[in-house]
Structure formats: structure tokens, C-alpha cells
């Protein structure tokens, strides 16, 4: 079973290339509106976890910020394993740029909807290719909800990952948001950018299907 958590501001559209290639059952965990601007990440994850049976087994597959939320859900659903796509296993892996944004408080000054005005800059930063990928990216930008986006960015930058569980990380070698660093990565996708859940869906599906088979063999 694969529980799919999209990236910040995204929805089921980012899994259109991946989900049909997965051999197990899939269930999307859609984003919930934050109860308040100060809702904590553990409290939010607990609300997200209500969609998953307490004894569920399988895989939490989180993209970008979805991976962070997946790790928090995993604290409450320990029989699941978290797979991070274009995400980080703990807060120490935040790249220097995002640490600078956190230290300066810049994220409080720039409205999230500003990215909608500069889609080409976002295309470069997120590693989005042209054609259908870019059109999808622009639609996701258009549909981003500012209040949720502002809340999620703050939660990411101030994530307390103390005692977070182990995960399996799938990262692209060209990811500019979460570039590979000194921490070992289980699966590196050559040429993959931050949007590789779309552009490299075939390679990612092959990895996930292999994990599913290995999990079944262990369970058996």
C-alpha cells in the first residue's frame, strides 16, 4: 500500500505519471487547511493521520514538504515506512539557502503568491522542463493557497525533527531546492530536479515497486 503525500501547494496532479506505474494500492492524502497560523506540525500531522488505519502497513511516499509531513505521520503510524522524494530526512539537512531565509526572516516578508508572478524563475529553481511539465507547474502555482503556503514554509523552516524515524530518500542530482549534501542518500536519480516526481516517474516507480516487493518478502 502506498500513501501518497504531494509537495507544498501541490495535489494529486503531481502523481499522474507515478501512481499508474505503482504495483500496489495507492491512496492520496490531500492537504488539510491549517486550523490556525500557529498550528504545530505534529498536531497537523495527527489530523492527516486520521485518514490512515492505526495498524496500517506499507509506505508513506512524501514529495518535498510532503516528506516532512510523512515523517511526522510515521511517528503515529509506526508500521509504515516513509519514502522521501525530493525531500530531507531531518532538519539538519536544510540547505544553506533555506537556513539563510530562516535566519533573516525573509520568508515573512515575501508573500507566497509572489512566485506566481515569476513562473520562469520557479521553473529554473524547481527543475521543471518545458511543454506539459511547465503547463502543469503553472497550474499548480495558480492554485496555491497563500495562507496554507505561508504556514507550510514556516513549519518547514522551523521543523523539530528530534527523534524522527528512519526513512528512505530518493533525491535528484540536479535538485536545487534540496541538493545532495554530505548525508548518504539511498537512491540518487541522475539529472533529476525537484520536479522529478513528474519528469522521472518511471525511475521512481521502479524503486518504489522494488521496495514493495522486498517488504512483502520480509513480511512473508
109 or 86: whose pLDDT is higher?
Answer: 86
Per residue in 163-202, pLDDT tens? 999 999 999 999 999 999 888 999 999 999 999 999 999 9
Nearest of 151, 164, 159, 169 to residue 76 by alpha carbon: 164
Nearest of 161, 2, 17 to residue 82 by alpha carbon: 2
| Alpha carbon 148 to its chain's center | 15
pLDDT of residue 219: 42
For domain 2-219, give the fold.
Rossmann fold (3.40.50)
Residue 181 in contact with residue 87, Cβ under 8 Å? no
Q: In what order do the strands lie in the sheet with 167-172?
A: 26-28, 2-5, 58-63, 80-85, 167-172, 187-189
Q: Among 25-29, 101-105, 173-177, 198-202, which is the least confidently predicted range?
A: 101-105
Per residue in 134-147, pLDDT tens? 888 888 888 888 88
158 or 126: whose pLDDT is higher?
Answer: 158
Q: Is the pLDDT of residue 217 over 90?
A: no
Residue spans of the domains in the chain: they are: 2-219
- Residue 158: count other Cβ atoms within 10 Å of its Cβ: 11
CA–CA dist 84, 93 (Å, integer): 13
For cell 519514502, the residue is 83
- Residue 187: count other Cβ atoms within 10 Å of its Cβ: 20
pLDDT of residue 127: 85
pLDDT of residue 117: 59
Dihedral, 209, 3, 199, 186 alpha carbons, nearest 10: -60
% of the chain exceeding 70 in pLDDT: 91
- Those residues whose C-beta lies under 8 Å from the C-beta of residue 217, and which sit 6 or more positions away, are none
Per residue in 57-84, pLDDT tens? 999 999 999 999 999 999 999 999 999 9
DSSP bridge partners of 175: none
pTM: predicted TM-score of the whole model, two decimal places = 0.91
Nearest of 106, 139, 141, 136 to residue 121 by alpha carbon: 141
CA–CA dist 31, 5 (Å, integer): 8
For cell 515497486, the residue is 209
pLDDT of residue 183: 84
Nearest of 74, 72, 71 to residue 85 by alpha carbon: 71
The three grid cell numbers given for residue 105, joined into one nine-digit string: 526572516
The three grid cell numbers given for residue 46, joined into one nine-digit string: 495527527
Residue 7 in contact with residue 66, Cβ under 8 Å? yes
CA–CA dist 90, 105 (Å, integer): 21
Mean pLDDT, rounded, of the chain: 90
Amino acid at each position: 500500500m502506498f500513501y501518497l503525500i504531494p509537495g507544498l501547494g501541490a495535489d494529486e496532479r503531481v502523481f499522474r505519471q507515478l501512481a499508474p506505474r505503482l504495483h500496489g494500492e495507492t491512496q492520496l492524502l490531500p492537504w488539510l487547511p491549517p486550523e490556525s497560523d500557529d498550528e504545530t506540525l505534529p498536531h497537523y500531522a495527527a489530523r492527516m493521520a486520521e485518514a490512515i488505519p492505526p495498524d496500517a502497513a506499507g509506505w508513506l511516499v512524501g514529495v518535498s514538504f510532503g516528506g516532512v509531513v510523512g515523517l511526522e505521520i510515521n511517528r503515529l503510524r509506526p508500521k509504515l515506512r516513509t519514502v522521501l522524494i525530493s525531500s530531507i530526512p531531518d532538519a539538519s539537512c536544510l540547505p544553506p539557502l533555506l537556513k539563510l531565509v530562516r535566519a533573516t526572516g525573509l520568508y515573512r516578508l515575501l508573500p507566497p503568491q509572489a512566485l506566481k508572478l515569476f513562473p520562469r524563475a520557479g521553473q529554473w529553481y524547481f527543475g521543471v522542463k518545458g511543454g506539459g511539465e511547465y503547463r502543469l507547474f503553472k497550474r499548480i502555482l495558480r492554485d496555491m493557497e497563500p495562507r496554507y503556503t505561508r504556514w507550510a514554509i514556516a513549519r518547514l523552516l522551523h521543523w523539530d525533527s528530534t527523534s524522527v524515524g528512519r526513512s528512505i530518500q530518493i533525491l535528484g542530482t540536479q535538485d536545487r531546492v534540496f541538493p545532495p549534501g554530505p548525508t548518504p542518500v539511498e537512491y540518487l536519480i541522475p539529472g533529476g530536479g525537484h520536479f522529478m516526481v513528474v519528469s522521472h516517474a518511471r525511475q521512481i516507480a521502479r524503486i518504489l515497486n522494488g521496495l514493495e516487493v522486498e517488504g512483502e518478502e520480509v513480511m512473508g
